[in-house]
Amino acid sequence: MNCRVVVEAAVPVYDVATEDEAIRIAISKTGEMLNPDLNYVEINMGTRTSPSGDELLPAFIAADEALVALELEMTVFNVEREEHAARIARKEIGMRLENIPLEILDVEILEEDDDEDEESADTPTDESSDESIAVEEAARADGNSEEEILPEFEDLIE
C-alpha cells in the first residue's frame, strides 16, 4: 500500500517585516534543509483560521520574528497501515528539520492500478529493448521460437 502523507511544520523565521517575506524565507529555509536528501517532498503554505472562521496568512509576526505554517507532502511506498506511513514521513522529515515541530495533518491511501503497473513494467526503457520486443512479437506471430530469433537479432545489431 502507498500513502500520501501531509505534515504541518511550524518554521521560525527571524528579522522579517512582512508576512510575505516570512513565507518566502520559510519555504526557502525548509527547502535547503530537505534537499538533496528529500527533494521529493512538496512544500506548500499552510492554512490558518481565526476563531471566527476567517482565513489568515500562514505567518504570524511579532517583534520582527515570525512563525510560519508550512505543509510538507510526501508519498510513502510499501507500508502496512496508515499509521506506519505517518511514522515514516514524520521520521524522515523530522531528521532533516531539527527543532521544528511537526504534526501529521492527513494520510491518504493512494489507489493502486494493477493494470498500469503491468503496462509500465512492459514499457521499454531504451531503443535496444524496443528492437528485442519487436523481434519477439514478430516471432510469436510467425510461430518461431526464441532460439531461432536470437541469431537473426544479433545479425541485425552487427
Same domain? 123 vs 82: no
SS3 153: helix
* Strand ranges for 1-157 from DSSP E: 2-14, 42-45, 48-49, 55-56, 59-62, 65-76, 102-110
Convert the pLDDT of each residue in 45-84 to its tens digit. 988 888 998 988 899 999 999 999 999 999 999 998 999 9
Same domain? 46 vs 106: yes
**Domain hosting residue 30, numbered range:** 2-110
Same domain? 103 vs 123: no
Same domain? 91 vs 123: no
β-strand pairing of 48-49 with 59-62: unpaired
Same domain? 99 vs 129: no
Same domain? 102 vs 126: no
Convert the pLDDT of each residue in 115-135 to its tens digit. 444 444 444 444 444 454 554
Share of the chain above pLDDT 90, in %: 54
Same domain? 43 vs 64: yes
Are the CB atoms for 101 and 9 separated by under 8 Å? Answer: yes
Positive or negative torsion for Cα 136, 140, 143, 147: positive
